[in-house]
């Protein structure tokens, strides 16, 4: 009986990757160190592969994980622990240190989600035009409780595929070099809530929010601080199937501060914007 009980404990330990109230693929169970120095890319990719096979989330405990290649997510989620504070004040969450220029930090494909994660870039490379920290590419993408820091472009849609029914909320973006959030090609009421883009390094010519073609978008409490342009409505990406169509949507309680241009409407596309409240 004693040997049977011991065997049971060994099996439980071996299956620790699936422990908890729901099964998860914990990146540390695949060898991730989270010390900010070790290259944890291989461990993350193994966890992502198992997550996709078993249809379980990838879990990232608190730590700093250096990644040297893009992570692709499709019909799965990557999540850290519950953030300890509003992520504008600090980053009390799992941090992914994006240490490459090969592609986006995270490539979010259809039905993927991201929660409770910070993506950090090198502050000492202010002129490096990194690919987007998060690339949206598909329908049904959900982003929540994130912090992006020192990237070039923060969140952007795939220029040809777009991102239908995307939901983005509770995001703080610190000192990007190009555009904080660039949304184009969304369908069926994309939703953006409580997103702030702050330019603490006073990098020039930064746009906080840019919108191309969006067939129904709802924006609530978006904020630009110390950027060149707060909100831009412009033409869809080159090659988009409807180059004449712009953004149709509502902007409620959206605001700017210490921003040179609050709203910039440019290009040839027709936009239908309802703007209420805000400063």
Q: Max CA-CA distance within the chain?
A: 78
- For residue 228, what pLDDT is reported? 97
Contact 88, 116 (CB under 8 A): no
Contact 208, 230 (CB under 8 A): yes
Comparing C-alpha atoms, which of 226, 223, 232, 228 is closest to residue 267? 232
Q: Please give the angle made by the CA atoms of 88, 147 and 36, to the nearest 5 degrees.
A: 115
Q: Pinpoint the alpha helices (H) of 181-262.
A: none
Contact 159, 189 (CB under 8 A): no
* 52, two tokens: 């996709």
d(CA 239, CA 258): 35
Please report, in tens digits, the pLDDT of each residue of the chain (279 residues total). Answer: 555 444 444 444 444 444 444 599 999 999 999 999 999 999 999 999 999 999 999 999 999 999 999 999 999 999 998 766 677 777 789 999 999 999 999 999 999 999 999 999 999 888 899 999 999 999 999 999 999 999 999 999 998 888 889 999 999 999 999 999 999 989 888 999 999 999 998 999 999 999 999 999 999 999 999 999 999 999 988 877 777 889 999 999 999 999 999 999 999 999 999 999 876
Comparing C-alpha atoms, which of 191, 203, 211, 245 is closest to residue 227? 203
Contact 148, 123 (CB under 8 A): no
Strands of 5-57 (E only): list them.
Answer: 25-26, 35-39
Contact 85, 118 (CB under 8 A): no
CATH number of the 20-276 domain? 2.160.20.10
Comparing C-alpha atoms, which of 241, 184, 240 is closest to residue 212? 184
- For residue 162, what pLDDT is reported? 85
């Amino acid at each position: 009986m004693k040997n049977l009980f011991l065997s049971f404990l060994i099996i439980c330990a071996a299956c620790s990757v699936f422990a908890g109230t729901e099964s998860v693929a914990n990146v540390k169970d695949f060898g991730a160190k989270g010390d900010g120095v070790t290259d944890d890319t291989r461990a993350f990719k193994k966890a992502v592969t198992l997550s996709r096979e078993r249809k379980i989330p990838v879990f990232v405990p608190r730590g700093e994980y250096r990644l040297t290649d893009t992570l692709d997510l499709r019909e799965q989620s990557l999540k850290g622990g519950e953030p300890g504070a509003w992520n504008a004040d600090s980053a009390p969450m799992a941090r992914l240190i994006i240490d490459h220029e090969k592609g986006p930090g995270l490539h979010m494909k259809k039905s993927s989600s991201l929660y409770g994660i910070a993506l950090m870039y090198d502050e000492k490379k202010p002129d490096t035009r990194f690919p987007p920290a998060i690339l949206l590419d598909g329908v049904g993408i959900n982003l929540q409780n994130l912090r992006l820091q020192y990237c070039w472009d923060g969140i952007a849609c795939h220029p040809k595929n777009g991102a239908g029914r995307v939901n983005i909320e509770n995001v703080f973006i610190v000192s990007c070099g190009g555009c904080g959030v660039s949304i184009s090609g969304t369908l069926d009421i994309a939703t953006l809530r409580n997103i702030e883009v702050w330019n603490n390094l006073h990098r020039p010519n930064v746009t906080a929010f840019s919108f191309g073609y969006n067939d129904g978008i709802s924006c609530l409490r978006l904020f630009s601080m110390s950027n060149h342009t707060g909100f831009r409505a412009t033409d869809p990406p080159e090659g988009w199937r409807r180059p004449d169509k712009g953004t149709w949507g509502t902007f409620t309680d959206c605001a700017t501060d210490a921003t040179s241009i609050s709203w910039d409407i440019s290009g040839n596309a027709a936009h239908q914007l309802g703007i209420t409240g805000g400063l």
